[in-house]
Amino acid sequence: MPTINEDQDRMCQMEYMYPEYNNYVRLQFSKKHLADWQAINTMAIDYMKKWHQD
């Protein structure tokens, strides 16, 4: 069973703050998905654009 520290080592976090949209998003994802950071980045930006339009 993983310890808390091992779990933290497996997690990645990216934060987005766009003053233009006055929005803040924090994403947490598994370290195994770090190679997909560009797709995650695109998803976060698209989410904020959609949130701003709604």
Q: Provide the number of structural domains found in the chain.
A: 1
Fill in the DSSP letter of residue 17.
E
Q: Say whether 16 sits in a helix, a strand or coil.
A: strand
C-alpha Rg value of the chain to the nearest Å? 14
Q: Please state, in angstroms and rounded to a whole number, the distance separating the CA atoms of residues 23 and 21.
A: 5
Q: Could you list the residue range(s) of the whole structural domain that residue 31 is in?
A: 4-53
Per-residue pLDDT reduced to its tens digit, 15-53: 888 777 666 788 888 888 788 888 888 888 888 888 777
Q: 25 forms bridges with which residues in the sheet?
A: 16
8 has a pLDDT exceeding 60: no
4 has a pLDDT exceeding 80: no
pTM beyond 0.75: the answer is no
Tokens for 39, please give them: 């797709």
